[in-house]
Chains A and B, each alone.
Chain A
Amino acid sequence: MLDRNFETQSVDPMFLEPECGLGWYDRKDAKLELVLGVQSPYEATESIAYLLGNARAPFKPAHINTQFTYVGGGFGGRDHTPFVLYVALAAMFFPGKPVRLAHDRYQQFQGGIKRHPFKIRSQIGVDRVTGKITAFAADHVLDGGGLQNFSPNVATVAATAAIGIYDVPKVDVTTVALHSRGVTAGSMRGYGTIQTMTALEVLIDEAAAALPLNPIEFRRRNALKQNGRTMTGNPYVVSVRTPEILDKLEMHPIWRQRAEEKARLKSSGTLVGTGVACVTKDYGTGADTSLGRVELSPDGKISIICDHVEMGNGIGTALANRVALHLGGVADEVSVARVDTFQPLGLVTSGDVRAMDEKTQDNLAKNPRWVPEISTATSASIGAHVGTHAAAEAARVIFQHGLWPAALALWHIPPTDPRAKDSAKASWKGGQLTVAGLPPLDLPALAAAAYAHNLVTGAIAHSFCRWAWARARFQVGNEQHRAEIDALAIRKGGGAFAALKRTSVWFPPTDNNRIGTAFASTCGTLVRVEIERASGAIRIAKAYSVFECGQPLVPEVVLGQAQGGFAMGVGYALLENLPPLEGGPGNGQWNLGQYLVARGSDLPLHDLEIEMLPPLTPDEPPKGMAEVVMIPVVPALLNAIFDATGHRFQSLPVTQATLKGVIA
């Protein structure tokens, strides 16, 4: 049995664009105009409306029009940020004047949302004979800072991630988020799990060494398999590929050559160490939505509008690629972070999506315009899986009820012909719709025909996911359209959008709210470090990360996220640190001269290998991966440092100065 304490530090998301916003209030029309950049547009509009809703005249606007922009990075720190409230207030206090509120970097460090620091006590019991983990217990204490932000949620997600990739028969985790005088902590990439899984993977390494057992073999013996039950009692409903990832790690030259490399540089005053870690990170929050609007012009141009936010996550490109699978062409226009263009659906919502019982949901669902949530934040690595889903389904409607019947018309195939049912046999090749034995048709010709025959040329869809997609049927002309959406509006030819009546709606059971998580992706990382004995300077000589993400919508963006996650992991492990209270960022004195993030020279720019496992099947849905790729980097580095120095650090960050202190 091992009983260990681990501490993590406060860090800043350090998105490069400091928070800013514009506002102006016209007292005559009582109209408040805002331009904001957040990860959660719909929540921001609701918050501002709530803020000003009970104000007295002349401080109560009759109308609030908020436009949302692309943002220069988010990493969680722009989800549920109070900054937007200050922009709205500033505009209200200076009626008739344009107001700009913009943090400089000192203010961003001072007022921006931070990652929660954790104090973690972990206890693990392992059977020496079998090498199996018999029990795990942990106590987490989070410092939430001065304002309650996402602390309860971060604490919960952290706790359900506390056993990482493992299948442990007895687990007891207590998690408490405390209010303090510190800077406010909220959402940040990793969302509590980077803290708990770093502590866990360092502990696992120590346990393997104590047995002794090869650390990858120890992980393999204890890894949760497909259909195994997570800590909260449910299995993941997506692929679990931990064994495959562990095999990849074990076979990699960084791992296999670790002893030779250690010996090779022994006489040079350089300490060499190799570390491994493997984690699984959930994606989705258990109540996620997307809104998508796709339109086709008479000449075949595609436009997409989505409520999710582009902040460097590549959702604009992912939307275009996913819609192209259905419509055969990459969109000419993609507009994101929009909450103002889906009115034809006439959506309404009520009740607490995370707390309602089944009977309440069934009753509410009788209203065909009711959905459990209207629009949720771009967070929790859901960009690919959820963010693009509604637009993809809207595109499918256009194909099925617009382009396909247009193709039949151009091929002179009547609806009674058996081939009219063969839409599934059609495929897009080089921008042309092809079916064996029929002449290929290009998108402009199909679009023109869809307009000429007054077929579907635009669709707006809403989707809801509670560890499963809501689904419903809609009557489109003479056909029933069944899809994983809960609201649909269509446009025929050049007409106006009209909502369709949904029937047979199925919402995922409210009992799913009791699941910790059901979607997760796995990533393993190997790192080799070289530490200069005299100075404590550490260099990451080589690294390898291998992960799974289902079907990647934009492989280049997935690769970029993995490389960026690696860099952010290095910063968290070795560089970034905000001290608590008086010496910390609340004093308004912090900037990048003092707060160090990873630069190119901190990284193995030419020796970082990223391997993305191919999807299990061609139709495996995309899985969230933007967070999981960051997490194992941190414990792998700590484990490599142990291998090099013999010192097992139990707090972050491990800086050059702390390293020098233990190896001097």
Chain B
Amino acid sequence: MTRLAITINGRAIEPLEVRDDLSMNDFLREYLGMTGTKFGCGAAQCLSCAIIVDNPDGTSYASPTCVVPAASFDGKAIRTIEGHAKNGELTALQKAFIDHFAFQCGYCTAGFLNEAQVLLERLAKKPVARAALEETIAEALDGQICRCTGYIKYHQAVRDVILADPQRYLA
């Protein structure tokens, strides 16, 4: 058993004793009832289960939760799909996903949203040339599997958010 202290969506969770083999996916879904994070393959291949991990230096990265033990997140700050909207106000990325009809069944959407949010935060720190934008988005999202949509609308939604704020995201 490991004592797990973790901050989720800006809120410190009361430390909990968890089994060493408990996956982060089960911790979120079963212990905390945060079912926005999905389980797709259990092998880190589809990334429906991806969440955002915030580094102390202000950078962030997306991490699968299905194959990663909850205990390995001890002391870390993470964000899940439940943490994007603030006071009911959707983020620009969430709005773009809706405006584009980017998702259909929605099962992969949390993973796409988290991965795309990480991309936005990376570009805000290290903008990319306009000419490299499409390829940058494609590389960033290529780990996610969607079986319904054919990916195009997800990519268009992310691109629109970036192009709407070129000073922030483009070099």
Is A605 an interface residue, CB under 8 A from the partner?
Answer: yes
Report yes or no: A601 in contact with B142, Cβ–Cβ below 8 A. yes
A599 touches B104 (CB 8 A): no
Within 8 A of A (CB), among B135-169: 138, 141-142, 144-153, 155
The reply to whether the CB of B69 lies closer than 8 angstroms to some CB of chain A is no
Of the four ranges (under 10, 10 to 19, 20 to 34, 35 or more), the interface on chain A belongs to 35 or more
- Which of B104, B105, B151, B155 neighbours the largest number of chain A CB atoms within 10 Å of its CB? B105
Chain A residue numbers with a CB within 8 Å of B48 are: 16
Is A661 among interface residues, defined by CB-CB distance under 8 A? Answer: no
CB contact under 8 A between A566 and B39, given known A312-B106, A600-B141, A605-B134:
no
User: CB within 8 A of A105: which of B42, B100, B101?
Assistant: B42
Binary B-proximity of A553-574 (CB < 8 A = 1, otherwise 0): 0101101111111111000000
Enumerate A51-79 residues with CB–CB distance to B below 8 Å.
70-73, 75
Q: 12 A-B pairs, CB-CB below 8 angstroms?
A: A312-B106, A312-B107, A314-B104, A557-B101, A560-B148, A568-B147, A591-B41, A591-B42, A592-B40, A599-B142, A600-B141, A603-B151
What are the nearest 10 A-B pairs in CB distance?
A312-B105, A563-B150, A72-B107, A312-B104, A592-B45, A567-B150, A556-B101, A16-B107, A312-B148, A105-B41
Closest to B154 in A: A600
Contact between chains at A105 and B40 (CB < 8 Å): yes
Task: Give Cα distance in the complex from A245 to B11, angstroms.
Answer: 56
Residues of B within 8 A of A605 (CB): 134, 138, 151-152, 155
The residues of A that contact B151 with a CB separation of less than 8 Å are: 563, 567, 599-600, 603, 605
Q: Which residue of B lies closest to A16 (CB)?
A: B107
Assess the A564–B106 pair: CB atoms within 8 A: no
A592 touches B41 (CB 8 A): yes
Q: Which residues of chain A in 296-355 are interfacial with respect to chain B, using CB atoms and an 8 Å cutoff?
A: 311-314
Q: Name the A residues within 8 Å of B146 (CB-CB).
A: 16, 564, 567
A interface list, Cβ under 8 A from B:
14-18, 70-73, 75, 104-106, 311-314, 554, 556-557, 559-568, 591-593, 597, 599-601, 603, 605-606, 608
Q: Contact check, B149 vs A564: say whether CB atoms are below 8 A apart.
A: yes
Give the distance in Å from the alpha carbon of A562 to the alpha carbon of B151 in the complex: 11
List 6 additional contacts besides A72-B105, A105-B41, A563-B150; criterion CB under 8 Å.
Answer: A17-B105, A106-B42, A314-B104, A556-B101, A560-B101, A560-B149
A588: min CB distance to chain B, Å: 13
Find out whether the CB atom of B153 lies under 8 angstroms from the CB atom of A16: no
B153 contacts across to A, CB distance below 8 A: 560, 563
In the complex the two chains form, what is the Cα distance from A592 to B149 in whole Å? 18
Q: How far is the CA of A556 from the CA of B152 in the complex (A)?
A: 12
The answer to whether B46 has its CB under 8 Å from any CB of chain A is yes
Roughly how many angstroms separate A376 CA and B54 CA in the complex, as a whole number? 48
Give, as a whole number of angstroms, the nearest-CB distance from A533 to chain B: 24
Q: Does B129 contact A (CB under 8 A)?
A: no
Q: CB distance A601 to B138 under 8 Å? A: yes
Q: Are the C-beta atoms of B43 and A105 separated by less than 8 Å?
A: yes
B40 close to A16 (CB less than 8 A): yes
Distance of A18 Cα from B43 Cα, bound (Å): 13
Q: Which residue of B lies closest to A566 (CB)?
A: B150
Q: Which residue of A lies closest to B103 (CB)?
A: A312
Q: How far is the CB of B91 from chain A (nearest CB, A)?
A: 21
